[in-house]
Structure 1
Amino acid sequence: MPHRRGLTVRSVARGALAALLVGAGVSHVTWGRRGYRIVVPSWATRLLRTDKDAIVVASGAVEVILGVALVALPRERSRIGAAIAAFFVAVFPGNVHQWRTGRAAPGLQTDRARFLRLFLQVPLVAWAWWATRER
């Protein structure tokens, strides 16, 4: 039987990160789906040759998969953490687009909220990286 070290700050942080990802992913494919289309820049639809709805659904699916993988695949934790950090970097242009266009989306109804949301990306990347490293 493998030795378990019990709950640590990192393990709690990983669980919270997994829950955040799954919750955000579910919102992207359900109740928030329509509102999140606003965040997708038009250049992304041209680059990916698809529509905004498909990008929102795909990003939501990726969030759910990453959140579940973080819990279900502990041996791959550092790789999954790197993928989560990369995902947070990849979606940043959408946050910038939303701020620049001033359009509301779920939870981001004001210019101030949209601006402050930009600064959340750095701690999200750091959280993903730190929580998935052993030391």
Structure 2
Amino acid sequence: MSGPAALEQAREFADQLAPLGPVKVERLFGGAVLKADGRAFAFVADGMLYLRVDAETRDAFTARGSVPFSYPTRKGRVEARSYFEAPSELFDDPDLLLAWTRAAIAAAGRAAVRAPRSRRRPSPMA
């Protein structure tokens, strides 16, 4: 899936998530990222929607057979275990999609609390 197609698909997901409030869609490599309150909670790559997970939500994904996002490198495949493929049943049930997306947004929020942005060092030229 090309970047423009991924952006379009991400915008369609964002439209479905309108009851949750504003969702921003941005380009991400060959895909697109979805953000709420400035935090990435999902992305679209290769025609798939991936949702943010953490220790509190990961088991629900694995119980439904979802797999983490992965990509090939010269040394083999790398798994990004913070994002799992959205279970297919979410796309048949708008309420279920909203519930799982709320959980992904919460996981993104918890991750932001655990890993605060580093402070910028003052310039030695100042």
User: What TM-score comes out, normalization by structure 1 length?
Assistant: 0.30
User: What TM-score comes out, normalization by structure 2 length?
Assistant: 0.31
Q: Which has the higher strand share?
A: 2
Which is bigger in relative contact order (C-alpha 8 A, separation at least 6)? Answer: 1
Q: Which has the higher helix share?
A: 1
